[in-house]
Amino acid sequence: MTSPIDSSYNCIAHAAQDSERWWCDAEDSYWPEGAEREGSLAALKQCYEAEGFAVCDNSEPEPGYTKIALYVDAHGRWTHAARQVDGGKWTSKLGQYVDIRHLTPECVGGPEYGEVACFMRRPEDPT
């Protein structure tokens, strides 16, 4: 665990480094402008594209970039997102509970969070 319980943000927000808002495709939640409000992987990609991310090929660390992993269930609906930290380790927010650190994006895959469907990256903020 790397944080106390905090219901003000979720895994989708945490992956984008936002610990102030709950991101969800529901009308009463934050969702980036221009992204479709639906549960598809395409809509989740649009969400992060609006935040400066672009699809990339893998989870290998790249100096100067922040990478995220997007997860889907067996029906192709988004379920979770994780962010790469510390030279290749990963962090996830478990719903409204705690943040955790894990060695690979696949460590949190399974029945509850689905499987990794794609990776995205954006340049790190130089400040």
Has residue 4 been placed in a domain?
no
Has residue 85 been placed in a domain?
yes
Has residue 2 been placed in a domain?
no
Indicate the average pLDDT of the chain.
94
Res 87: pLDDT: 82
Is 37 a residue whose pLDDT tops 80? Answer: yes
Residue carrying structure tokens 């990794």: 116
Domain holding 49, by residue range, is 11-123
Is 65 a residue whose pLDDT tops 80? Answer: yes
Has residue 29 been placed in a domain?
yes
Has residue 3 been placed in a domain?
no
Has residue 36 been placed in a domain?
yes
> Which residues lie closer than 8 Å to 63 by C-beta, 6 or more apart?
none
Has residue 98 been placed in a domain?
yes
CA atoms within 13 A on the CB side of 44: 27
Res 86: pLDDT: 82
Main-chain dihedrals φ then ψ at residue 71, nearest 5 degrees: -115, 150
pLDDT, tens only, 15-31: 999 999 999 999 999 99
Res 52: pLDDT: 96
Number of domains, the chain: 1
Has residue 82 been placed in a domain?
yes
